[in-house]
């Protein structure tokens, strides 16, 4: 489940494109802040700048590039990316004794999401691991944004996906991308309200 142990996949392309484009993309976030799937990563200061090891900011034009790289090799991933308007990832390594502070920030983030109408899909706390997954739904029940907060040992990862998503499709490719919300069957169980995790 660790973002550092990703399987070889198109995610490597996302990392490469995101690293190259990050400076130019920051200027575009004001427009994205008005979208319902937007989550204020920096404002809530979930990952300290000093701990940050990965920062990805991809907007629609760059995501189209990622979809083109996927091509026939990973059609499900390409279809998912094409529905997105932005992908934002922050990942970092915590120092000794910092996990408690991160758990507190997760609670603050959860309250922020709850107060703004996001739907909690997964809440897991198991030893040194904690995962929160929230989705933003429109009036018809379609997913138009997702936020994932994951703590695994000393590693923290926050993902904000803005745009139209097919949760079933996302679940099927979760293992392939090794994103921090477990295996596809776990994610699909969460969609059906079968969350076996402990509430934070």
Domain assignment present for 196: no
pLDDT tens, N- to C-terminus, the chain (200 residues): 444 444 445 555 555 555 555 555 555 667 788 899 999 988 888 888 888 888 888 888 878 877 777 777 777 777 777 788 988 888 888 877 787 888 899 999 999 999 999 999 989 888 888 999 999 999 988 899 999 999 888 889 898 999 988 767 666 555 544 554 443 444 444 445 444 444 44
Domain assignment present for 165: yes
The secondary structure of residue 1, as a DSSP letter, is -
Q: What are the structure tokens assigned to 160, written together?
A: 């904000």
DSSP calls for 87-132: EEEEEEE--TT-HHHHHHHHHHHHHHHHHTT-EEEEEEEETTEEEE
pLDDT of 1: 40
Phi, psi for 116 (deg, rounded to 5):
-105, 20
Domain encompassing residue 37: 3-187
50, 51, 52, 65: which is closest to 18 by C-alpha? 65
pTM over 0.85: no
Domain assignment present for 199: no
Domain assignment present for 51: yes
Count of domains forming the chain: 1
Domain assignment present for 200: no
The secondary structure of residue 143, as a DSSP letter, is E
Domain assignment present for 192: no
Domain assignment present for 194: no
Question: Helix, strand, or coil here: 179?
Answer: coil
Question: Helix, strand, or coil here: 30?
Answer: helix
Domain assignment present for 198: no
Does residue 113 come out as left (phi exceeding 0), alpha (psi in the -120 to 50 range) or beta? Answer: alpha
């Amino acid at each position: 489940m660790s973002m550092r142990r990703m399987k070889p996949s198109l995610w490597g392309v996302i990392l490469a494109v995101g690293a190259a484009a990050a400076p130019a993309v920051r200027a575009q976030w004001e427009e994205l802040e008005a979208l319902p799937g937007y989550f204020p990563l920096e404002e809530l200061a979930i990952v300290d700048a000093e701990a940050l090891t990965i920062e990805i900011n991809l907007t629609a034009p760059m995501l189209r590039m990622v979809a083109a790289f996927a091509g026939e090799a990973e059609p499900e991933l390409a279809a998912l990316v094409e529905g997105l308007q932005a992908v934002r990832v922050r990942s970092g390594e915590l120092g000794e004794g910092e996990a408690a502070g991160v758990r507190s920030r997760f609670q603050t983030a959860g309250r922020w999401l709850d107060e703004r109408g996001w739907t909690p899909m997964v809440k897991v706390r198991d030893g040194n691991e904690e995962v929160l997954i929230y989705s933003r739904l429109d009036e018809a029940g379609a997913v138009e944004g997702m936020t994932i907060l994951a703590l695994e040992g000393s590693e923290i990862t926050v993902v904000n996906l803005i745009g139209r998503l097919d949760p079933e499709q996302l679940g099927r490719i979760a293992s392939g991308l090794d994103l921090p919300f477990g295996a596809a069957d776990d994610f699909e169980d969460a969609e059906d309200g079968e969350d076996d995790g402990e509430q934070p």
